[in-house]
Amino acid sequence: MISNSDAVVVLVTVPDVEVARRLASVVLNARLAACANLLPGVESHYWWEGQLQSAAEVLIVFKTIRPQLEELERTVHTHHPYQVPEFVVLPITDGSEKYLGWIAGETSGR
């Protein structure tokens, strides 16, 4: 049984909406996340290969559970165009019991 405390949010940035939609579709069809929110219009500033860079990106916010993280990360790396894609995991420390239960239910029955 998966507990609600296993729920996490995973942040992934991609270069455009088309890539975001494809990646979200792959992840959701594999039941590696219960939900993917696509947030276009993100402006990222970062260091890459010794130079300060900036780019317009789309942020994907995946809701999933800890037991899916390894496969989710592998899937993101396989389908992502960046050499080093963002993959940041944040714990969900509290929330609606029904919503957290829904996340667990949609991702644990693969």
58-87 confidence digits (pLDDT tens): 999 999 999 999 999 999 999 999 999 999
Q: What is the pLDDT of residues 26-47, one digit of tens each?
A: 999 999 999 999 999 999 999 9
Domain with residues 4-108, CATH architecture: 2-Layer Sandwich (3.30)
Rg (CA), the chain: 14
Q: Which residues contact 31 (CB under 8 A, 6 or more apart)?
A: 106, 107, 109, 110
What are the residue boundaries of the structural domains of the chain, listed by start? 4-108
